Structure 1
Amino acid sequence: MPPKPSDHDVLVKLLLIGDSGVGKSCLLLRFSEDSFTSSFITTIGIDFKIKKVMIDGKLVKLQIWDTAGQERFRTITSAYYRGAMGILLVYDVTDEASFNNIRNWMRNIEQHASDNVNKILVGNKLDMADDKRAVSYSKGKALADEYGIQFFETSAKDNVHVEEVFLAIAKDVMRRLASEQDSQQQQVAQPAPMQLTSSIDRTKRRQKSSCC
């Protein structure tokens, strides 16, 4: 039988990490199903959803893994870092502790993920920022700039910047993959260096080898 044609051009694996209660599952639900629940969603271990999007004329299959933020699941969730191509670090703009813990999550990435994994910083629950904000936009942007990554503030409830943040990290991953592929092709295209030896040099070596 002929191989089954793929239902996508590119597969991009993304990972959501951050403290429990910052709204990772709500962001994923909003992006993948365009829905929202006000009930607190606790992820047990790991969950994932799939969504296909068009990026730069290519059909991209996003496989998005949602991790539990609780400490007791860290051993389970850390195993998924290695396969991630892009990671969304999420905090709650009304919870300064969740923002401060971003540095700990970044250390987990350094320990468990690939060196070249793409990252993006997300301050969620923007809908509650007017009267409960604990982390300013400038503070979040400064941390993102320190790590050299993009920064978004989002609201899963009001659907603010949710699609933009997932597409932004997916585009970052695709640009990196394209750059890596170009580098590999250039290395293959470069001919191996040839060592030219003149007939005079060969004659000299033969003369030396014949001497006792």
Structure 2
Amino acid sequence: MPSHRRTLLKVIILGDSGVGKTSLMNQYPLNLAIWDTAGQERFQSLGVAFYRGADCCVLVYDVNSLKSFDNLNNWREEFLIQASPSDPENFPFVVLGNKVDVDGGNSRVVSEKKARAWCASKGNIPYFETSAKEGVNVEEAFQCIAKNAQKSEEEEEIYLPDTIDVGSSSQPRSTGCEC
């Protein structure tokens, strides 16, 4: 059975301006198509073309900014509306709490516990605390992102059989993180 697969995975990285999205992206030199809003968050609705076809969505906030954390809901909802994934309940997201290095952690306002609780409430989204500046947990986070994006892409794989059996049903899918 021949299959047609894309060789490039599309990862969308979203979050408020200044949370470190570009810095995180630049720390991880893997061959992913990572689409960064490049500080244009003021255009909240970035358009369907930006989001469509994504294999994973990374939500980034600054652990020193409650507002950037509170806005994760908006970014997640905006992505689901614009991308219209076929199975929104199981679409792979990863959350990164960035800038853990700032001020030796003394200016932190969002606890790891609070962030993990939010991720659990959204279907057990994988969570990593990172420092793009110092490279803390960036490799591990992007390994998980790449794994989830690849898993998502494989589940969307299109098979072109020689004959079509209209009586077969599709198997249930799971996109749980095993990172």
TM-score of the aligned structures, taking structure 2 as reference length: 0.76
Residue of 78, 82, 105 corresponding to 1:108:
78
| Structure 2 residue aligned with 1:82 | 52
Alignment CA distance shift 1:192-1:174 (3 Å) = same
Gaps of 5+ in 1: 1-7, 33-50, 53-61, 194-212
> 1:123 corresponds to which letter in structure 2?
G
Q: State the distance in 2 between where 1:192 and 1:77 align.
A: 36
| Structure 1 residue aligned with 2:27 | 30
**Equivalent pair of 1:123/1:152 in contact (CA under 8 Å):** yes
**Equivalent pair of 1:17/1:69 in contact (CA under 8 Å):** no
Residue of 143, 147, 150 corresponding to 1:174:
150
When the two structures are aligned, how many residues end up with a matched partner?
A: 156
**Equivalent pair of 1:18/1:91 in contact (CA under 8 Å):** yes
Q: State the distance in 2 between where 1:161 and 1:77 align.
A: 31
Deviation string 1:59-103 (CA, Å, 9 cap, x unpaired) is: xxx111110444543344653011321111000000011000111
Cα offset for 1:132? 0.8
Q: State the distance in 1 between where 2:110 and 2:127 align.
A: 13
**Equivalent pair of 1:22/1:124 in contact (CA under 8 Å):** yes
**Equivalent pair of 1:23/1:92 in contact (CA under 8 Å):** yes
| Structure 1 residue aligned with 2:13 | 16
Alignment CA distance shift 1:71-1:22 (3 Å) = closer
TM-score of the aligned structures, taking structure 1 as reference length: 0.65
Gaps of 5+ in 2: 168-179
Structure whose residues are more often strand by fraction: 1
Q: State the distance in 2 between where 1:188 and 1:142 align.
A: 47
| Structure 1 residue aligned with 2:96 | 122
Q: State the distance in 1 between where 2:100 and 2:145 align.
A: 19
**Equivalent pair of 1:68/1:77 in contact (CA under 8 Å):** no
- Bigger Rg over Cα: 1
Cα offset for 1:9? 7.4
Higher RCO, Cα 8 Å, sep 6+: 2
**Equivalent pair of 1:125/1:154 in contact (CA under 8 Å):** yes
Q: State the distance in 2 between where 1:109 and 1:174 align.
A: 19
Q: State the distance in 2 between where 1:131 and 1:78 align.
A: 39
Cα offset for 1:169? 1.4
Cα offset for 1:192? 4.7
Q: State the distance in 2 between where 1:81 and 1:98 align.
A: 20
Residue 50 of structure 2 aligns to a residue in which SS?
coil
> 1:153 corresponds to which letter in structure 2?
E
